[in-house]
Structure 1
């Protein structure tokens, strides 16, 4: 990945990001002095190694040792363990709370969509992709608020219809704090394209006091929804800018989902950092 001269590589964990991640990490019992073995790799360096793989897409076994981030297997284990401990989800939620406190979340509308990625090694949550000559693939499902900030993401097989993930994504929206009163977890409206056109699901969305604005099949193009829906396409572009998310290389679905959640958290952190620079 190209890095400008004098610019800090994006996989180097800044003090601001580390201050948000460190309190979320599970407590590790120190090894007894009488037990031999290598010292435990510093968690911050391990996170740098995980981000390096996320940004560059390099295989774990090729993680350069000269960077000082430890071995690829060590970083893989930390990614797995921290995902099982819910670190990435809690990091995402805490960043959403900060953005909400700063008035950066537009709850008047949310946008939902799906995007195919090829799964090179197969595994759970894969299937024949209808848009890639039935090659094995997965699908990223994403819901954002009105400005394109990711609220929730999920992974399914490439042959799953988008509409089947409409309600699971909405119901999985986390309670977002940051403002006085009850945490917010429901937008006022949801925008979606023709892939979500089904009256059954419209009624289910309405039952949650959310107005569904979904394009109907068979109608001419030019519905005008594009001026609201483009933000989710932009967020997909940001997610797939991480080379590890352009193609699914992981057989284990939980590892790929961990990268997805971490990618959403990084996008939120960037938005927050840009806000503080203004």
Structure 2
């Protein structure tokens, strides 16, 4: 009789244990970029230039260019991919994306020299804006590779029509708009805030891959070029995503507790 009462009590505890909320702990991580590259576009130039720019793959370059030039419509957009699935994240509490400007703008193997513009995020002379690549039909897949991505292989978020329309040069509705939410301190450009955190959580709930796109929205007529360190550049300057997040610590399952309970009761019976 005593064994039965003990068994019933322990089973009730085991089954009720599942209803308790999971314990959690806070964590901080500096997540380095998985893939990063500059996508170049040209129109109105020579046929050879158009073919070279639009098919250019810059995955091995030490720099990520953001270029905005008229009258030949040369453009360069930065793509930065992060893999959130490498961390055991339950919820993202805050995030900050950071890239470092290069002291000089090196050759990108197509343009011998780019105009070295002023790094500025003041509204009237804005040179820096960011957007998040959404997972919508027709967009560049989130698992893109820097060894294959060029303008010719980007999706609906970046097309000749979107570039011609001006503004961000990106297709409305295909990207999350973080323009005006960045900050510049010395040679570091950072993006943070609730909008970025919320968007990253949606990427976490999808497949964990998140792509941030950088643009140069207001290039000067003579050319407006900025360059940032890529993952192939100098050590210590790799694009990064600083995360403060909550890690779920699973409680023991009811099945595991019930198994321990039954083992205890059976052991007592054998001893008697």
How would you bin the TM-score normalised by the shorter chain?
Answer: under 0.3
Largest Rg, 1 or 2 = 2
Larger relative helix fraction: 1
Higher relative contact order (CA 8 A, sep 6+): 2
TM-score (norm 2): 0.24
TM-score (norm 1): 0.24
Larger relative strand fraction: 2
